[in-house]
Chain A
Amino acid sequence: MSDVNAAPVLDISGAALVRDGNELWSGLDLAVRPGEFIAVLGPSGSGKTTLLRAILGLQALSAGTVTVAGRPVRRGNPEIGYIAQTRPLPPDTNLRARDLVELGVNGTRFGLPLRRKSDRERVDQLLHDVGAEAFAERPVGLLSGGEQQRLRIGQALADEPALLLCDEPLSSLDLANQQAVTAIIDRQRRERGAAVLFVTHDINPILGMVDRVLYIAGGRFTLGTPDEVLQTSVLTELYGAPVYVLRAGDRLVVVGVPDTDHHHPHDDGHGAHGGEVVA
């Protein structure tokens, strides 16, 4: 899938994160190569989103360095496409579907807001790439969660980023939309060689695509292929408590994950799993 000789798109070394005086993790080294698909798993509050924000240059890590395409992190790096958690837009949002995608094409550009022909063509291409042509002219607030998420991906792909950061892009989507959305992301790395860092609480929808798993829990982390990491013995050691990885057909379920200090019982789509993390 990925070229082992290519220079890493994302290179993290010696990274550490301290929050409220507690060290969440330290000594994190991760080199992601073009076309590689990395799943980031772990309970809420384990610093997954913070890791993404550090790569975006929005938040500093407590220690370590991060480079993207060989250069230190900076805000507004066009090499990075960011796909945020699905949070439905309000029905009266003042945007049509194509406008949401267009924000990715020219949303950061200062100067008179005159529409260039090349912008319009790029938006059309992106709408085509994410399969959103059919609802391109409709107000976004009236679209389903899956349709909105396709548009967000179209927006994130505007600059043909070398690295895609996905923060729970599947939460609150139904199965068909989860498959559609992951297929678009997967195609992007196969056809364009984009590396993918995919934060999720449920690995099943992407299990067939993942090259490596970064599992963060209990103030530690482990990194390896899904088969290496998603083992009862590995996760039991990571959590320091008995945790079981069950296989049901081609699905994996992680049972017995202990509550961490950072676990908050807020419901953001995780509640459906009855308190157990599906990984």
Chain B
Amino acid sequence: MISVPLVSWSDIFSFEDYGALLALVQNSLIAGAVLGLVGGLIGVFVMQRDLAFAVHGVSEMSFAGAAAALLFGFNIVGGSLVGAMVAAALIGVLGAKARDRNSIIGVLMPFGLGLGILFLSLYDGRSANRFSLLTGQIISVDTPDLAWLIGICVAVFVVLLLVWRPLRFDSLDPASAAARGIPSTLVSIGFMLLLGAVVAVSVQIIGALLVMALLVTPAAAAMRLSAGPLAVPVLAAVFGFVSAVGGILLAIAGTLPVSPYITTISFSIYVVCRVVAWGRARVARPVAA
């Protein structure tokens, strides 16, 4: 007797009609690619400024905004952006000190998540949209919205490049940066707003709960390999790009959501980087005879 497997491999990987599927998701792929690059870059500053927890807090508020937009019939990307910006501004203004910041985020996060779940429960439309906000489903985002996502990422990318040096100075050596006249409060709020915009995009693509896989993990992996001012952002952007694009390419071959592929690739890259760094440290510090 042949037992029926609970999970079929063809759900996870299937490459029949792959070319046709690829053409359908072309725009999603572009959005994923752009987000992967920008997410990796901004992640470098997220790590340097110790804002990983803030990313999570902003993403839950972004989820609440998106859910509210869904319920009241507004544009979901717009709602997501408003939620993220409000949270980012609050954290930027009130959370100058790390300890204050963490408590503000800790307060905002469950509130945002609860609010989002409330709005989704009240919403009686097509249910496919519902949990995609939490766990992501880029394939279900329509083309005009994809254009918005790409546009936001490109705008953040340009601004990030223009403020790169002062932002880096403020992130790595805040006391000297202040002495040299860099307005740290302004930089902090400005950076949070850029971060809010990228988080709002990420929520659409991999979902509010998994945003860190594109905004934290690639940069954290890159920092394991290098301390160079060029190498770290380039590696982080490449890792983000590979995770996002690779995840989408694998996902369209199966019937599962995109997010687990992205998070798994991004996590695997991190593990490899850690192992490489560990191996290098062993070579550099041979056991004394």
| Chain A interfacial positions (CB closer than 8 Å to B) | 56-58, 74-77, 80, 82, 84, 92-96, 99-100, 102-104, 106-113, 139-141, 152, 155-156, 165
Known: A93-B172, A99-B229. A56 touches B165 (CB 8 A): no
Cβ-closest 6 pairs across A and B: A76-B181, A107-B169, A82-B179, A75-B181, A113-B164, A139-B227
**Which single residue of chain B is at the shortest CB-CB distance from A107?**
B169
Alpha-carbon separation in the docked complex, A40 to B183 (Å) = 27
Note all chain A residues with C-beta closer than 8 A to B179. 56, 58, 80, 82, 84, 165
Known: A94-B232, A103-B172. A76 touches B182 (CB 8 A): yes
Alpha-carbon separation in the docked complex, A101 to B229 (Å) = 12
Flag if B228 contacts A96 (CB, 8 Å): yes
**Which single residue of chain B is at the shortest CB-CB distance from A99?**
B229
Note all chain B residues with C-beta closer than 8 A to A141. 227
Flag if A82 contacts B176 (CB, 8 Å): yes
- Chain B, interface size category, equals 20 to 34
Note all chain B residues with C-beta closer than 8 A to A155. 173, 176
Note all chain B residues with C-beta closer than 8 A to A109. 165-166
Partner of B166, one of A56, A57, A77, A108: A108
What are 7 pairs between A and B in contact, CB < 8 Å?
A82-B179, A84-B179, A93-B172, A95-B227, A107-B165, A107-B168, A107-B169
> Is B223 among interface residues, defined by CB-CB distance under 8 A?
yes
B112 to chain A, nearest CB (A): 30
Partner of A84, one of B161, B175, B183: B175
Alpha-carbon separation in the docked complex, A61 to B251 (Å) = 62
Q: Main secondary structure on chain A at its contact with chain B?
A: loop
Alpha-carbon separation in the docked complex, A186 to B121 (Å) = 70
> Is B7 among interface residues, defined by CB-CB distance under 8 A?
no
Alpha-carbon separation in the docked complex, A95 to B173 (Å) = 10
Flag if B176 contacts A103 (CB, 8 Å): yes
| Chain B interfacial positions (CB closer than 8 Å to A) | 44, 47-48, 161-166, 168-169, 172-173, 175-183, 223, 227-229, 232
Alpha-carbon separation in the docked complex, A73 to B190 (Å) = 26
**Which single residue of chain B is at the shortest CB-CB distance from A106?**
B165
Partner of B176, one of A110, A111, A152: A152
Flag if A110 contacts B163 (CB, 8 Å): yes
Flag if B223 contacts A92 (CB, 8 Å): yes
Partner of A94, one of B48, B161, B165, B183: B48
Most central of A84, A113, A152 by chain B CB within 10 Å = A113
Flag if A111 contacts B181 (CB, 8 Å): no
Known: A84-B176, A84-B179, A103-B173. A110 touches B232 (CB 8 A): no
Alpha-carbon separation in the docked complex, A76 to B182 (Å) = 7
Flag if B165 contacts A110 (CB, 8 Å): yes
Note all chain B residues with C-beta closer than 8 A to A92. 223
A275 to chain B, nearest CB (A): 28
